[in-house]
Structure 1
C-alpha cells in the first residue's frame, strides 16, 4: 500500500473516534453510488417506495479478508440529510438468513449517524474476522424522514426490506452502502471500472459471476484485492445512468485505499447511445473524442501513480433484441467506430496495459457479434462463460506492470 493511503486511513480513524486497529485498510467490496432517477426513466429503480423507518438488509460477498471491518455509507447525490438510526453487520449465507449474531456498527462511537447532503461516512471498526469469499450482511435502519436519493441500481444481489424477522419486500438495488474495508493489508489493490459489462448486467443474480468476481477469486490467494466500480449505463465522456467515468474516477477509483491499478472497460454506451432512445438527439460519437477521453483518464492515472489497464470494446451487433433499442443501438457505422477505437487502444502508449476483450468475446465467424457461448442472450452482455473468459485473460503479470 502506498504510504499516503496508510496515513489517510489513520487520519480517518482518528476523526471517526474509533480505535486504531491497523495502519492499513483494504477495500473488500464496493458498489459505486449513482443518483436515483425519476420515475419517468425507462428502468424502474428497484428500490422500495420508501426507506423512511425501514430496515434494509444487504447481503454481499467479500473479495478480501481481515479481522476488523468498516463500512462506508453514501449520500453523495442527496440534497437533504440522510438519517440512519442503526447499522448492523453479521456473517450471512443464503438470502436474508444470517450465520451469526448481528454486531452493531458505530459511527464516532454512536449507533446512529446522519449523513449530510453530498457526503460519505465511514464507520468505526467492527471486530468480525472474515476471509476472502466470505458472505456477510449489512442491515441499515433508516430514520423516519429518510429519503433514498443515492443508490446503486444493478446490485446483482437481492436485498431485503424487513419487518422484524419477516421479509416484507425484496429489492434489486443497493441502498446507501458504498464499500466495506478490512484491516488486512493486500500486496495489490485493483479496481475494475466500466459500464454494465463490468457491473454485471447479464450475469445471474446472487451468484457472484461478474468478471471482477472471477478475477477476485483467482487473485485473492496471490495477495490481490479486486473490487468492482462498474455502473450499468455508464459512459466515458457523458453522464448516463450514473456520472461519466471522467467525473467519478477520482471518487470511485483513485480515492480507494491502497489502489495500485485500474482495469477500465468503457465506451460501448458512448458509441451506441447517440441516436437511440437513450439519447435520440445526441450527435454521433467520434474517435477523436474517445481518444481524448482515454488520454484524460491516462493523465489522471499517472498523476495518482496508478496503473491504467484498458480493455477493448466487445462487439454488440443485434444487441437488445425485441426491445425499443434494437433498431438504433447498433449500426454498421457504430461498429466501425468501435473497431477504430480498439485498433487505437492496441497501439497507443498512453496506457500501461491492454486486455483484448474484443478478441476474447467475438464470434470467430462474425467479428461484429458476441460468440454465442459467451453471450448472456441479449447479444450485448456476456453470460457466465463470457465473464469467466474475460477474467482469465487478465494476468497478474499485466496488472503489476511486468509486461504489457
Structure 2
C-alpha cells in the first residue's frame, strides 16, 4: 500500500471512531468501593461466605434518565483477579424479581476479569429509563472469585439467587453492594452533583429499601432541573484517616475528581474525625485538632477548584448522647469533642474558601439544646438523621445548589 493510501485509510478509521470517542457519560448511580474487612467482631460484612460461582442481583434506583447505560465494576481493593462470568441488566419487578433481562457485554464478550486494583466499564446497553426508574444488575461470578471489594452500608437489599432468571429463588439477602460501583447514562446533565461524607450521607439511620437518604431526596428534587446526583458516602468515613473505608483525602480522586462530568462536590465530613479518638474504634488515637481539620478541608478545596469544580460544605451536626446502649456510648461524645465541633463549624461559617455552606448544625439541632439532634429529625440513635431529617437536609442542599447556579 502506498504512503498516501495508508494515510487515507488511517484518517478514515479516525473519522469513523471519532463519534464514539466524543461520547460523554453521566453518572446516574454510585456506591463507593471499600475494602472487605476480615475482622467481623464489631461489624459483619453482610456478604455471603463465598461468591465463587455465585449469582447476586442488586436492585437500585437511577437518579438521572438514560437511553443507554454502562456499568462500572470495581476490584480497586482486590489483590487478585476477579472473574465475572456474566452480567445482565433489567427493570426491577420488586424484591429479587426482574423483567426482560438484557445481556451486558465487555468488549463484545459476555464476561470479564477485573485486574487487581482496577475497574472495568461495560459496553453500552440500550436501556431507556426515566429518573427514578428501578432497575437491577445481576452478576454471576467465576469459580475463582473472592470478595475483596464492596460497599458496606447499601441501605438496600441485594439477593443471592439460584440462577439469573426473572423469578429466581432467593438463597440469601445481602445488605451490601458488591463489585457494582457506578452506572453511567448517555444523557448529558446540566450539572453533576456528588454527595460525599460519612454514614449520615451513606444513609445509616434511614430505613432499608426506602430510598430516603438525603442524597435520594436531593436527586428527586433536582432531576427536573437536569441535574444528576450520586451518593459517594461511606459509613465510618473520615476526612483525614482511613476508617471503614479510605479517608476523603485518599479517595477524592476516584470518587469525585474522576467521576465523569462532575461539577459540584457537597461534602459533609468531620463527625468521625472528632468522635472516634478514644473510642473502641480507635482507643489509642490522639484527640483531633482544629488545625488538622482546617488543613484537610483546605486541601480538599484546592484539589476540587484545580479541577474546575465547585465545593459546597456542610457544618457538622450535633451528636451528644450518640449511640446509646452500645460500647461507643461512653466515649463517642465528650465536652471537649463538642467544643471542637463548635470551633470547626464557626470557622466554616466565616470561611471564604468554599462555594457554599449548608448549616446542618443549625438545621438539625434540637430547640433549646444545640448539642443534640432535634427529636423530629433523629433516627433514634442521636447521631444519624431519620427520613424527615434527611428530607430537611436535601431541601437545604437543593436551595444552595440552585442559588449557586443562578448567580
TM superposition score category, shorter chain reference: over 0.9
- Is the alpha carbon distance of 1:175 and 1:402 closer, same or farther for their aligned partners in structure 2, counting shifts above 3 Å? closer
- In the alignment, is the contact (CA less than 8 A) between 2:221 and 2:398 conserved in 1? no
1:132 counterpart = 2:131: yes
1:369 counterpart = 2:368: no
1:401 Cα deviation after fit: 2.6
- In the alignment, is the contact (CA less than 8 A) between 2:268 and 2:313 conserved in 1? yes
1:109 paired residue number:
108
1:247 counterpart = 2:250: yes
Cα distance between partner residues in 1 of 2:100 and 2:110: 17
2:94 paired residue number:
94
1:4 paired residue number:
none
- Is the alpha carbon distance of 1:50 and 1:133 closer, same or farther for their aligned partners in structure 2, counting shifts above 3 Å? same
Cα distance between partner residues in 2 of 1:53 and 1:212: 34
1:158 paired residue number:
157
- In the alignment, is the contact (CA less than 8 A) between 1:275 and 1:283 conserved in 2? yes
1:84 paired residue number:
84
- In the alignment, is the contact (CA less than 8 A) between 1:190 and 1:226 conserved in 2? yes
Aligned residues: 388
2:6 paired residue number:
none
In structure 2, which of residues 283, 287, 290 is the aligned counterpart of residue 284 of structure 1?
287
Cα distance between partner residues in 1 of 2:229 and 2:28: 7
- Is the alpha carbon distance of 1:117 and 1:101 closer, same or farther for their aligned partners in structure 2, counting shifts above 3 Å? same
Equivalent position SS for 1:178:
strand
Cα distance between partner residues in 2 of 1:132 and 1:237: 34
In structure 2, which of residues 173, 190, 194 is the aligned counterpart of residue 191 of structure 1?
194
1:22 Cα deviation after fit: 7.3
1:29-48 to structure 2, matched below 5 A, reads 29-48=29-48
Aligned CA RMSD, in angstroms, stands at 1.7
1:24 Cα deviation after fit: 1.7
1:2-401 to structure 2, matched below 5 A, reads 20=20, 23-98=23-98, 100-164=99-163, 165-396=168-399, 398=401, 401=404
Cα distance between partner residues in 1 of 2:40 and 2:177: 20
Cα distance between partner residues in 1 of 2:399 and 2:194: 13
Cα distance between partner residues in 2 of 1:41 and 1:23: 46
Equivalent position SS for 1:373:
coil
1:39 Cα deviation after fit: 2.9
Q: Structure 1: any 5+ residue segments left out of the alignment?
A: 1-13
Residues 64-88 of structure 1: per-residue CA shift (max 9 Å, x gap): 0110000000000000000000000
Cα distance between partner residues in 2 of 1:93 and 1:64: 19
Could you state the TM-score of these two structures normalised by the residue count of structure 1?
Answer: 0.94
Equivalent position SS for 1:87:
strand
Residues 111-143 of structure 1: per-residue CA shift (max 9 Å, x gap): 010000000000000001001000000000000
User: 4+ residue stretches of structure 1 with deviation over 4 A?
Assistant: none
Could you state the TM-score of these two structures normalised by the residue count of structure 2?
Answer: 0.93
Cα distance between partner residues in 2 of 1:323 and 1:303: 42
